[in-house]
Structure 1
């Protein structure tokens, strides 16, 4: 409710030529952490509610003064104003539940599912906008799209077709933001290249950096420059190793651990502090608490916030920690690819094939591994497979270790659908905020079919998956034989 009311006045202010930075920050950061399984304690919730209550009066006053109006608020939002500054958390929750139940009765189950999907895209947009801001890029259009989305919740009519159209609009916005973010990264760090990444640990003090915000990894590396503290990446942060600029940091040693699915063990065995960069809290904070620090907007109990890029507390913690006593030699992996070279290679081979399969980033479950191994063995020789994850050696398979480059699927799909006069089938083994947004966006690409693996209930519950697939014509993976028969008969 506070979010909707703040967005209402922020949009009204914007339409009258004004702006409010505090409103923008709290809206974008709240969505980026709330539309997930982030654990909010009573204290966290109360602090967030108070944040909204503190900025609302001056925001309303600023708008009314600029627009020369008074009490300009839709009927659906007037109940929010019943909460005065002394309202406690119990009263806030009670009013929120009343509004939720009232709204739930007014819309269909399909519309509810579509709205939940819409907020997955909203989270992706907010994260991309905030990441762009860390590169000094003002993504005003992304912020405006969020204001319009939140204000759509105030509309009297909530039919599925309108919500679906809004989802498609948001997916287009998210794609533009991802393109801009990729460009910002390349301008700052150079174009990604094939890189050898070591899993070897070396004796010494160490810090582990988790998440996907490579701009914050740069901040950490700058903070420890000249100090005898090594830095290791974890999970998605591994992608930073493909950017040439990061090779200047001698403290950056490589990757540690087996990824987010194994983070409980990875974090428990790491002998130093762990930094959770922005938007990574939802992955790990409920699994492990210890020497955890975060740069995020909100932090859970036991996770120490980092403010204003001040890493002094982390550095002190690293110096006091035991660090790696002996180190351990491990394998080196090759990640990344040259995009232009891959497109040229595919175009060179295209004349031999009747269609193209693109396999996106994998979830790496045993079930998925078995599915794609079987798929690769049964695909006809006249089908070209470009795989960013699962792979076997065959003449008609091009294997690319895209690491965690989630946008690579969209780039390859769009390029191949334009360059080749061949039907393209895209498999999304992984179901997350990136892929959900990309799937919606790619439904507008001609001659492209989409298949998606299982989504976790945290991301999309079974009812939402059914609604998602039906609304956008996306198919779920079933059996290899059934899926191949369906694809190849077209």
Structure 2
């Protein structure tokens, strides 16, 4: 095989991509991503020792965080970007080592190869990558646990990065990420040790999601119940996709008064819910659906598109010249907007937009959202009353990701067939499977409550914990809440681990269970947490509602 990657839900044949990623990444990019992770482990070895002596290297902390983010599925496909990151990692490793030794610190005599290897050329990188990939851990169960932890901290790094750009960070989270990286090359750790570390990863996942929630709401206000327009106007437009709200703010400021309209796409839809963005008259609404439909929707949009985070699909030549990337996103041949002195300049996109036709309208109407924890808790009396009266029998958490597989139609059918006395709590792009259905309401409470991006899954945990308190329950699993979550990439992994840390059991994942879970590790999750898959809609609804009656 020329590569091996099984970090996302669409891993080829349910086991792993071995020639080219289903996501579109080449074998070279996949292998360089593996080598970058290996290099980050080496940097972390020295950086953790330096921290013990009070040495803080913020450049190293930030680089490790951003580099993990860059390896998330559908974030960066640019081989040269990863070559540059690996070179930077080796330089940083040397700098941190020098700081450590100058401060009187010592290094072990038998340091792991991740802390000592060196190479200069791309060819040498490719040779080294063959020995540093996922399959270098021979024991299947240890490999499974190590990768589960790594994918969890990839998601954690993404959330930490979003908070960081808004001026919020927790050193303990960044230190844990590095601790976890080093643990995945520590052969002295047993499977039980790695299981414990997995739970600790969930703990820090809760912390980083709470931090990001604080960063977003403090900066832009609490999301409000909002009717989001999905039609278009007759002006040239710029489409912004991904998750980064700071980029959203900068783009709105720079396009104000230019005659250019701004539309959100996919996971940027929840930007429409924030008070700070509603003051912009040229902020029109949302265009299109989940990330995987962008090959058609970017075509019909006509104007420039800004990709702020992961969720990029390799672009078609027909619109490739209109796609701009920023932050950790990359694809060879696309124009990249860098941060300079803490700011980004979108003038090139604005000039480009002036020369483009307005978007082609693909639908009309509105989507209702903005049900983050602050909003839902303000309706707590109404919600609790509906539960106590029997008007609401059960809540279904259907958060997570969308994807290309035909089997994901399951989630549309599941939403359609749920009893009318149930409510869906959602976050992430999984909602596009049902957020435009006419599912009605229960006493004025919409049957689909959208908390926001996958980043906002924290809201669903806060809501559940508050309901547990209101109903005076000892166990969160006594609540009338079922979890039927669609997953795709690594941010969904950290959400899952966070829920497990909070004690949530009987979570069902689909459309398939992760390929990186070995049979034994999957059994541990089943036995300890009741993790399950999905079957067919009717059987699963009967199963969930049977639990409700039990």
Q: TM-score, normalised by structure 1?
A: 0.87
1:400 to 445, 448, 462: 448
Check whether the contact 1:231–1:251 (CA below 8 A) recurs between aligned residues.
yes
1:55 equivalent in alignment to 2:55: no
1:19 to 53, 56, 64: 56
For residues 130-149 of structure 1, the aligned pairs below 5 Å read 130-149=161-180
Q: Specify whether residues 447 and 463 from structure 1 end up closer, same or farther in structure 2 by C-alpha distance, changes over 3 A only.
A: closer
Check whether the contact 2:202–2:501 (CA below 8 A) recurs between aligned residues.
no
1:414 equivalent in alignment to 2:465: yes
**Structure 2: how far apart are the matches of 1:326 and 1:367?**
29
SS for the counterpart of 1:443 is: helix
For residues 123-202 of structure 1, the aligned pairs below 5 Å read 123-202=154-233
For residues 303-322 of structure 1, the aligned pairs below 5 Å read 303-308=334-339, 309-319=344-354, 321-322=355-356
| CA drift at 1:18 | 0.6
Q: Which stretches in structure 1 are left out of the alignment for 5+ residues?
A: none
SS for the counterpart of 2:312 is: helix
| CA drift at 1:301 | 0.7
Q: Specify whether residues 470 and 356 from structure 1 end up closer, same or farther in structure 2 by C-alpha distance, changes over 3 A only.
A: farther
1:242 to 260, 270, 273: 273
Check whether the contact 1:455–1:465 (CA below 8 A) recurs between aligned residues.
no
**Structure 2: how far apart are the matches of 1:245 and 1:7?**
38
1:267 to 286, 291, 298: 298
**Structure 2: how far apart are the matches of 1:398 and 1:250?**
27
Count of residue pairs brought into register by the alignment: 473
1:461 match? 515
1:252 equivalent in alignment to 2:286: no
| CA drift at 1:328 | 8.1
Check whether the contact 1:451–1:475 (CA below 8 A) recurs between aligned residues.
yes
Q: Specify whether residues 283 and 114 from structure 1 end up closer, same or farther in structure 2 by C-alpha distance, changes over 3 A only.
A: farther
| CA drift at 1:3 | 1.2
Task: Please identify, of 218-227 and 446-455, the stretch whose mean Cα deviation from structure 2 is larger.
Answer: 446-455
| CA drift at 1:276 | 0.5
Check whether the contact 1:211–1:276 (CA below 8 A) recurs between aligned residues.
yes
1:98 match? 131
Check whether the contact 1:31–1:126 (CA below 8 A) recurs between aligned residues.
yes
Q: Specify whether residues 469 and 477 from structure 1 end up closer, same or farther in structure 2 by C-alpha distance, changes over 3 A only.
A: farther
Check whether the contact 1:274–1:291 (CA below 8 A) recurs between aligned residues.
yes
**Structure 1: how far apart are the matches of 2:409 and 2:349?**
37
1:284 equivalent in alignment to 2:313: yes
1:357 equivalent in alignment to 2:395: yes
| CA drift at 1:92 | 2.1
1:431 equivalent in alignment to 2:464: no
**Structure 1: how far apart are the matches of 2:117 and 2:501?**
44
Q: Specify whether residues 361 and 474 from structure 1 end up closer, same or farther in structure 2 by C-alpha distance, changes over 3 A only.
A: same
1:111 match? 142
**Structure 2: how far apart are the matches of 1:438 and 1:469?**
20
Check whether the contact 2:228–2:286 (CA below 8 A) recurs between aligned residues.
yes
For residues 220-249 of structure 1, the C-alpha deviation after alignment (integer angstroms, 9 at most, x for no partner) is: 111222222111110111101111111111
Task: Please identify, of 207-216 and 444-453, the stretch whose mean Cα deviation from structure 2 is larger.
Answer: 444-453
Q: Which has the higher contact order (CA 8 A, sep 6+)?
A: 2
Q: Which stretches in structure 2 are left out of the alignment for 5+ residues?
A: 1-37, 403-407
1:451 equivalent in alignment to 2:508: yes
Task: Please identify, of 409-418 and 57-66, the stretch whose mean Cα deviation from structure 2 is larger.
Answer: 409-418
For residues 454-478 of structure 1, the C-alpha deviation after alignment (integer angstroms, 9 at most, x for no partner) is: 248xxx3274598346424312222
Q: Specify whether residues 174 and 229 from structure 1 end up closer, same or farther in structure 2 by C-alpha distance, changes over 3 A only.
A: same
Q: Specify whether residues 468 and 215 from structure 1 end up closer, same or farther in structure 2 by C-alpha distance, changes over 3 A only.
A: farther
2:358 match? 324
For residues 356-387 of structure 1, the C-alpha deviation after alignment (integer angstroms, 9 at most, x for no partner) is: 4323237673222223434437xxx7xx5444
SS for the counterpart of 1:196 is: strand
Structure 1 runs (4+) greater than 6 angstroms displaced: 325-329
CA RMSD of aligned residues (A): 3.0
1:75 to 101, 110, 122: 110
1:340 match? 377
Check whether the contact 2:512–2:534 (CA below 8 A) recurs between aligned residues.
no
1:481 equivalent in alignment to 2:539: yes
SS for the counterpart of 1:401 is: strand
Check whether the contact 2:76–2:329 (CA below 8 A) recurs between aligned residues.
no
